[in-house]
């Protein structure tokens, strides 16, 4: 998993609450377990019409938000089914941080497991970030070490994060990477077990 320390990028405002995982990545794109290639399905029913043409007034289709790496979203983002494809699709599209007032629990956990940073801010702070992102300057800074979001105008908003999850994000550790940090201890344990219980090695 790639480490997340600080992100300076373009922010796209998605002024919709209760965006569920089927809206993030519709079911027809769930036929793969590969993380690459899912960007084409991200917000598919918002981005494209019935003929597959881009819907020009959807935020991520607007020229000024092309290449956005931060999504500023409405309340209860990521609700619905527990598909891990949702954070995969966001990251494949280039979104590395989602800012909202709240997230569905399973989506929230899946984000940390895959290196996508979910940031929770107060309603008035989200409104301020939304308003600024709709202006002429869309650049924001998200600093995980400092636990701050800096708006285009320079306003700073602090956010809270579990310290264990923060450390793992900073180091780029998923569950497997965290386990491999104890590789030496695991090797010692397996060697001792092979001697004391050799029948398990067959």
- Write out the chain's pLDDT in tens, 202 residues: 889 999 999 999 999 999 999 999 999 998 887 778 999 999 999 999 999 999 999 999 999 999 999 999 999 999 998 889 999 999 999 999 999 999 999 999 999 999 999 999 999 999 999 999 998 889 999 999 999 999 999 999 999 999 999 999 999 976 555 555 655 666 667 767 777 887 777 6
Distance CA 43, CA 39 (A): 9
Query: Are residue 33 and residue 44 in the same domain, yes or no?
Result: yes
User: Model-level pTM?
Assistant: 0.87
**Residues belonging to the chain:** 202
Instruction: Count other C-beta atoms under 10 Å from residue 111's C-beta.
Output: 25
Furthest C-alpha separation in the chain = 69
Query: Are residue 120 and residue 197 in the same domain, yes or no?
Result: no
- CB-based burial label for 188 (10 Å; 0-12, 13-18, 19+): exposed
Query: Are residue 184 and residue 138 in the same domain, yes or no?
Result: no
User: Three-class SS of residue 179?
Assistant: helix
CATH number at residue 83: 3.20.19.10
Query: Are residue 12 and residue 33 in the same domain, yes or no?
Result: yes
């Amino acid at each position: 998993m790639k480490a997340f320390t600080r992100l300076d990028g373009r922010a796209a405002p998605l002024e919709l609450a209760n965006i569920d995982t089927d809206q993030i990545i519709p079911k027809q794109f769930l036929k793969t377990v590969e993380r690459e290639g899912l960007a084409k399905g991200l917000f598919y029913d918002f981005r494209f019409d019935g003929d597959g043409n881009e819907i020009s007034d959807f935020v991520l289709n607007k020229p000024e938000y092309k290449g956005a790496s931060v999504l500023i979203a409405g309340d209860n983002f990521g609700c619905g089914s527990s598909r891990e494809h949702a954070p995969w699709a966001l990251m494949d599209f280039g979104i590395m941080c989602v800012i909202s007032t709240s997230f569905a629990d399973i989506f929230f956990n899946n984000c940390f497991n895959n290196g996508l940073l979910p940031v929770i801010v107060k309603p008035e702070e989200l409104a301020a970030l939304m308003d600024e992102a709709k202006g002429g300057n869309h650049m924001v800074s998200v600093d995980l070490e400092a636990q701050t979001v800096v708006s285009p105008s320079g306003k700073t908003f602090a956010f809270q994060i579990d310290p264990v999850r923060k450390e793992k994000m900073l180091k780029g550790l998923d569950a497997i990477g965290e386990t491999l940090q104890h590789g030496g201890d695991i090797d010692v344990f397996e060697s001792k077990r092979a001697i004391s219980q050799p029948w398990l090695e067959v």
